[in-house]
Structure 1
């Protein structure tokens, strides 16, 4: 009998937060591997606010990143993580001092960070295990909303058709840094790729849609409707920032970006004529774990 347990780590350095996912993969004979999230740690360091406004990461946030990576390194050691990958996305790839920060983190924490582009990010996200959500007979637009960018991927009848990253992110939006022409470009692209299909559902990923799904009270695997999302969006706008934190129990770094996140999902649904959005609670870190496992098998 063959039985093996492996532990992997995935670090996602985003524009709104930095996450560490530690996952356990169980192998048993010739059965499919079982992936289980062992630990998820999120630190609300908003790199996008630095980069999109001032062009580089501030000294304060560099220090916070170094401390975070030191703690992540310790956590992975305690969990006996075999292999890890650390990827930085939109904010880090645009930061003028991005490569210097990567070098400093490597020197002080031992964590090696790779800055990836939007297409690589979308490809990793597409590696996530969507079999529990995707019906092989249906068409889906996968929408991953981040602080600096949004990745769109079209799946039709079980296959990935096309993917594209746009610099439309929640942190950019709260700083009024997304032009009408970029919105128009995203609209035209989504309408073009979805026009041939009669019925499309959305699959949403990202911390904001996970939070919205949780508040909906829906069972796992059930979608939330376009009309629910519209009503929730209107409810959010009826509260100011402090009221959203207090009355809706939102994290302080979530209470502002959740509104533009809603706007992105709603527009994607409108442009693709989707009536429902499924929220499987998967994202970049899950894709990183899957990519490490696949490379480890070779």
Structure 2
């Protein structure tokens, strides 16, 4: 007997807000299958408010309410049976974050959970990441967001250590150079300390920017990107202006600037861990929310 139900996940990030709707296919004596049905991304850059001014503006609050209302309507049309909305670092750090959560609930009926970096990493690690980390190999998982980056070290199929750093792409764009230098130094120290005894570490990258870089590489799904290729791409992107990245590479305006600091984070992580390749399984917080919902972990 075949049963198909739809689940929804709302991911309120620092660079964009996303709605993922997935079909969960359940057959007797088989593992459940999770198949993406619809993904909607709205570029509301909350981090530009939260990390610079400490509060989310009235304009972006209004846009958020409208986006969540639209997401709710879409989920109704898709006949989603269960959904969950999670917000990350921008909403966490905004002084009016809780106020906005209350406002959205009052106006849309959608309850938003503002989650911490460790919880975010735990939700993401419940995804198909398990397929990659089997065996005795060692991996450094790097999830780059707009406000923070989560690092998790896996070895022998187990989590060795994990940490969230305030090293997001939107934040890096708005920080002073001296502040960014300090953050990179802290991350370098943590990665080197936690990977020094591991052999042949490979990176696993998640986030919209590495997904875009992977698509641009033309690699076959499941095949890694090399350090050499990623570094060459980084130098190429840096030489182009913001306008050229939009007109010549067809990057979205809200992707064309953050892709530079994102690539720098992945390259730095590869260098500090001694990794020569990065796998891009195209997973993220939204996927983790849906799996956690299905298995009643949220």
For the criterion TM > 0.5, the same-fold answer is yes
Equivalent in the alignment of 2:236: 235
2:84 paired with 1:102: no
Residue in 2 that maps onto 1:81: 80
Deviation at 1:3, TM superposition (A): 2.8
What residue in structure 1 maps to residue 296 of structure 2? 295
What is the count of residue pairs matched by the alignment?
Answer: 296
1:202 aligns with 2:203: yes
Q: 2: distance between equivalents of 1:51 and 1:165?
A: 18
What per-residue deviation string (whole Å, max 9, x for no partner) do you get for residues 43-94 of structure 1?
0000000010111000110110011000000010011111111000000000
Once the two structures are TM-superposed, the CA of residue 182 in structure 1 deviates from its matched residue by: 2.2
CA RMSD of the aligned region, Å? 1.3
Q: Distance in 1 between matches of 2:47 and 2:31?
A: 39
1:41-52 equivalence runs, <5 A: 41-52=40-51
1:121 corresponding residue in structure 2: 120
Aligned partner of 2:248 in structure 1 is: 247
- Aligned position for 2:264: 263
Residue deviations 1:84-119 (CA, integer Å, cap 9, x gap): 110000000000110111111111111110101111
Moved more, 255-264 or 172-181: 172-181
Distance in 2 (CA, whole Å) between partners of 1:56 and 1:196 is 42
1:133 and 1:221 in contact (8 A); partners too:
no
Q: Tell me the distance in 1 between the aligned counterparts of 2:94 and 2:295.
A: 31
Corresponding position: 1:189 with 2:190: yes
SS at match of 2:270: helix
Render the CA deviation track for 1:123-163: whole Å, top value 9, x for unaligned.
11111112443341311100000000000011112222211
Whole-Å Cα distance in 1 between the matches of residues 32 and 136 of structure 2? 25
Distance 2:79 2:156 in 1: 39
Query: Gaps spanning 5+ residues in structure 1: where?
Result: none
| Aligned partners of 2:172 and 2:180 also within 8 Å | no
Local SS of the residue matching 1:163: strand
Rounded to whole Å, the distance in 2 between the matches of 1:264 and 1:131 is 23
Quote the residue 2:172 is aligned against. Answer: 173
Q: C-alpha separation between the residues in 1 aligned to 2:5 and 2:155?
A: 33
Alpha-carbon distance in structure 1 between the residues aligned to 2:180 and 2:42 = 29
In 1, the alpha carbon distance for the partners of 2:56 and 2:84 equals 22
Deviations 1:209-268 (A, max 9, x none): 000000000000000000111100000111110001011110000000000001100100
Q: Secondary structure of 2:254's match?
A: coil
Deviations 1:186-226 (A, max 9, x none): 11110011011121000000000000000000000000000
Offset at residue 180 of structure 1 (A) = 2.5
Instruction: Give the whole-Å Cα distance in 1 for the aligned partners of 2:84 and 2:135.
Output: 31
Show the counterpart of 2:92: 93
What is the Cα deviation at residue 185 of structure 1? Answer: 1.4
Show the counterpart of 1:214. Answer: 215
3-state SS of paired residue (2:220): coil
1:56-71 equivalence runs, <5 A: 56-71=55-70
Measure the CA separation in 2 of the matches of 1:36 and 1:158.
Answer: 25
Quick one: distance in 1 between partners of 2:174 and 2:132?
A: 34
